Structure 1
C-alpha cells in the first residue's frame, strides 16, 4: 500500500453535546490541503453488536421494530448496544436472550465494520450463534418487538428484495452468504 499516514492535523477539540448515547465534538484542524477547517464528529458511547443465531435446520430469527430516528418499521438481525465495560460477546448473548429468548452454546465473531466514514466513529461487531435453545424473550420496556423464525436463505432474500435496510443486518447476511454458511 502507498502512504497510509494521517494527513490531518488536529489543533483543538471542543465538546458540543453529550448524553448517554452520543457525544458530539468539534475539532479545529488543518486539512490535507493545508487549509484551516472545522471537523465535527459524533462519537457513539456504545459499540453496536449483532448476533445471527443459526439452528441445526439452518433457520435464523429476525426482529421487527419501529425505529424512531428513521420513522419506519425495520426488520433486523438481533442487535444491541454494548456499553463500555461489557465484553461484546457477553452483550451479544444478552441481546439474544432479551430480544429472542434464545441461548447458544457457542458464538464466533465473523464481522467487524465501521458504520460511517465521514461523521461518526460508530463501529459494529457481529457474531454467529450455534447450539440454539428456545426460551422466553425479555425485551426492555421501551422495545415493542416482533420475532420471526425463518430459513437463513429466506432472510438473505429479504435483503435482496430490499425488505431489510439495516446496514448491520445487510452486511452480516451478505457475508454469511459469501462464506457459504447456507
Structure 2
C-alpha cells in the first residue's frame, strides 16, 4: 500500500531488538527517535500478510467457517482467510484459502481492498477479495484446523454481528462490502 509519508511524524529507528521468532509472527522492540528529538520504544509484531475471501453463492449467500480462536477463548464465524506464504501472490493465496477451507473454487475473483489489521503494533496487511461463480468441491483444511462451513443470508450475517458470533474486523468489513454491493452493484474501491 504505497502512500505519501508525513515526515513531520516520522519515527526514525535507532535500534531493533529481536524478542521472538515463531512460525507465523515475530516480535521485536525498536528504539525510535521521536519528531521532537526524544526517544521511545515500540513493540512491533511482524507478520507476512494475509488474505480473506468474501465468497458469494449464486443464491446470494456468504460462505463462512466457524472455528475456535484460542486468543479469544471462543468460537468465531469468519470468512475464509489465511496467511500468505513467503513470496506468494495474494490472489493465488485467496484462491488457495477458499478451496482449502471450504472446498469452493471461484469462476470470478477480484480484489476489494487491502488494509492493515492493527497498525498500532503490527505490520500485518490483509487483502480482501470477492469470489463469485462458485463451484463446490471438497474442503481440505490444514491438519490443525477444525472448521464448520455455513452459508449465511445477509440477514443472518447481520444477526451474527449483533450476537458477536461474527466479531472480527475482516468479516464485518466483508459484510458491509457485500451490503454495498447489493445496494449499488459494485464493491467499494
Give the TM-score taking structure 2 as reference length: 0.87
Aligned partners of 1:176 and 1:113: how far apart in 2?
A: 17
Shift of 1:156: 3.3
Higher strand share: 1
Aligned partners of 1:109 and 1:128 also within 8 Å: yes
Aligned partners of 1:132 and 1:152: how far apart in 2?
A: 18
Paired residue for 1:35, among 19, 34, 38? 38
Partner residue of 2:61? 59
Aligned partners of 2:154 and 2:179 also within 8 Å: no
Aligned partners of 2:112 and 2:129 also within 8 Å: yes
Partner residue of 2:20? 17
Aligned partners of 1:156 and 1:177 also within 8 Å: no
- Cα deviation, 1:85-140, whole Å, max 9, x if unaligned, reads 21111111111111111011110010211111211111101110011011111111
SS in 2 for 1:129: strand
SS in 2 for 1:62: strand
SS in 2 for 1:32: coil
SS in 1 for 2:149: strand
Aligned partners of 2:176 and 2:36: how far apart in 1?
A: 37
Number of paired residues? Answer: 179
Paired residue for 1:157, among 152, 156, 159? 159
Aligned partners of 1:70 and 1:124: how far apart in 2?
A: 20
SS in 1 for 2:91: helix
Stretches of 4+ aligned residues off by more than 3 angstroms: none
- Give unmatched runs, 5+ long, in structure 1: none
Q: Please give the residue correspondences for 1:1-182 in structure 2 after superposition, counting only pairs within 5 Å.
A: 4-5=6-7, 6-44=9-47, 46-179=48-181, 180=183
Aligned partners of 2:57 and 2:63 also within 8 Å: no
Aligned partners of 1:157 and 1:106: how far apart in 2?
A: 28
Which stretch of structure 1 is more off in the superposition, 19-28 or 127-136? 19-28
Aligned partners of 1:107 and 1:68: how far apart in 2?
A: 30
Give the TM-score taking structure 1 as reference length: 0.90
- Give unmatched runs, 5+ long, in structure 2: none
